[in-house]
Amino acid sequence: MRIVVTGGAGFLGAHLCERLLDRGDTVICVDNFLTGSPRNVSHLLGRPPFRLVECDITGFVHVAGDVDMVLHFASAASPFDYLRYPIETLKVGSIGTLHALGLAKEKEARFVLASTSEVYGDPMEHPQRETYWGNVNPVGPRSVYDEAKRFAESLTTAYRTAHGTDTAIARIFNTYGPRMRPYDGRAVPTFIRQALNGEPLTVTGDGTQTRSICYVDDTIDAILALADSDYAGPVNIGNPTEMSILHLAETIRDLTGSTSPIHYITRPEDDPAIRCPDITLAGKHLGWHPRIDHLDGLRRTIDWFDAYLHGGRARATS
């Protein structure tokens, strides 16, 4: 298959491009490097079925030849990034999604939207099922991301009903793993970097807010299963093992062997208090369940960060 991956030079996009190439697909990776980097896919550049195109999906987009799938992953994703790039985030979620859907329509390709658990906002239902409409502050700081994705879901649904475009919506929950940026501000890379550097681990609030973290290989398995199916979704993709952020910080500290203290810092406005996916639909329609538990996944991620930041020395000496 010939597959366009928007945001393909980002964290999830780069893993996706690699897996698609491994199974024999041709991949056109489209990225403007706002929060991603060509470095993330540099190891793929020598492989002939891979093409990296520097392009802002909110501008003019043209892809020559047939396309079988458009996997739309372009968008800042960490709160630190989307608060730095509020307008860019709204534009890529709206205009960028319009262009990615237009490409899928023109090429009669299947379209998969990388949506997010953030469409549920600060949820009043727990765990979150796909039928839950969410609790989002439309003028709060996180709205630039949440509302952009909610609009993207609505647009995707309209292309399906009005144009008959073959679409799918993946609601991805917090995913972590190798190739996250050490300074992207998300909890897992931040705690790992701080622990490996012997710095205090910065937990927001009292750390009782929860998240459910999914290892990247599991998330990519689910995305591929959804892409290959004819299921429209929306479907939750995440690991339902829920934990408090303080527990996450302490677990990472233990796994690195670090003695860093925990420092409590101000919790961001509208930071969701709880988050956990109900993955019944993913099991039923995609035959998918996460396989990698958080201890295994965190160990793999710590090893990667240690090699990336310190050539593997920090853990050996900590």
Stretch that binds ligand UDP, among 1-9, 119-127, 267-275, 303-311 (CB under 6 A): 267-275
Which among 69, 93, 75, 288 has a CA at the least distance from the CA of 166? 69
Amino acid letter at 108?
E
Please say which residue, 91 or 315, places its beta carbon nearer to ligand NAD. 91
Known active-site residue 183: no
Q: Residues in contact with ligand UDP, total (CB under 6 A)? A: 15
Q: In angstroms, rounded to a whole number, what is the distance separating the alpha carbons of residues 276 and 284? A: 18
List the one residue from 3, 4, 5, 13 that touches ligand NAD (CB under 6 A).
Answer: 13
Following DSSP, what letter does each residue of 75-90 receive, concatenated?
A: S--SHHHHHHSHHHHH
- Matching residue, tokens 């993330």: 40
Q: Does 190 bind ligand UDP (CB under 6 A)?
A: yes
List the one residue from 37, 137, 157, 204 that touches ligand UDP (CB under 6 A).
Answer: 204
Q: Does 202 bind ligand UDP (CB under 6 A)?
A: yes
Q: Does 272 bind ligand NAD (CB under 6 A)?
A: no
Cα atoms in the 13 Å half-sphere on the side-chain side of 297: 22
- Matching residue, tokens 């599991």: 218
Minimal distance, residue 5 CB to ligand UDP, in Å:
22
List the one residue from 18, 21, 27, 35 that touches ligand NAD (CB under 6 A).
Answer: 35
Q: In angstroms, rounded to a whole number, what is the distance separating the alpha carbons of residues 197 and 149? A: 35
Contacts of 100 (CB under 8 A, 6+ apart): 4, 6, 57, 61, 70, 72, 74, 111
Q: Does 33 bind ligand NAD (CB under 6 A)?
A: yes
Count of Cβ atoms closer than 10 Å to residue 304 Cβ: 16
Here the tokens at position 19 are: 């897996």
Minimal distance, residue 13 CB to ligand NAD, in Å:
5
List the one residue from 125, 270, 271, 303 that touches ligand UDP (CB under 6 A).
Answer: 271
Give the footprint of ligand UDP on residues 59-88 (CB under 6 A).
78-79
Q: Does 171 bind ligand UDP (CB under 6 A)?
A: no
Minimal distance, residue 187 CB to ligand UDP, in Å:
4
Minimal distance, residue 117 CB to ligand UDP, in Å:
7
Strands (E), 118-200: 167-172, 175-176
Q: Interface residues with ligand UDP (CB under 6 A)? A: 78-79, 174, 186-187, 190, 202-204, 209, 211, 245, 267-268, 271
Enumerate the active-site residues: 145
